Homo-oligomer: A and B are copies of this chain.
Amino acid sequence: MTSQSAGPGRTGRRGGDSGTREAILDAARKRFAAHGYDGATIRGIAGDAGVDPALVHHFFGTKERLFTAAVRLPVVPGELISSALAAGAADPGGSLGEHLVLTALSAWDVAEIRETFLGLLRSAATSEQALIMLREFVTEAIVGRLAAAADTTDPAQARYRAALVASQVVGLGIARQVLGLEPLAEAGRAELAAAVGPALDRYLTGDLG
Contact = CB atoms under 8 A, between A and B. Distances in A.
Interface string A106-131: 00000000000011011011100001
A209 B193 CA distance: 9
Interface in A125-170: 125-126, 131, 134-135, 138-139, 143, 156, 159-160, 163-164, 166-170
Interface stretch (A18-26, A55-63, A182-190): A182-190
Contacts of A126: 122
A203 interface: yes
Contacts of A199: 168, 199, 202-203
B175 A166 contact: yes
Contacts of A44: none
A30 interface: no
A209 B124 CA distance: 36
Contacts of A156: 183
A12 to B, nearest CB: 35
Given A118-B125, A125-B122, A167-B184, A208 B195 contact: yes
Contact of A187 (B121, B160, B198): B160
B175 A170 contact: yes
A34 interface: no
Contacts of A160: 183-184, 187
A164 B172 CA distance: 8
A196 interface: yes
A76 interface: no
The 4 lowest CB-CB distance pairs between A and B, nearest first, are: A171-B171, A194-B209, A122-B125, A167-B175
Given A166-B181, A171-B171, 4 more contacts: A118-B125, A138-B181, A168-B168, A191-B208
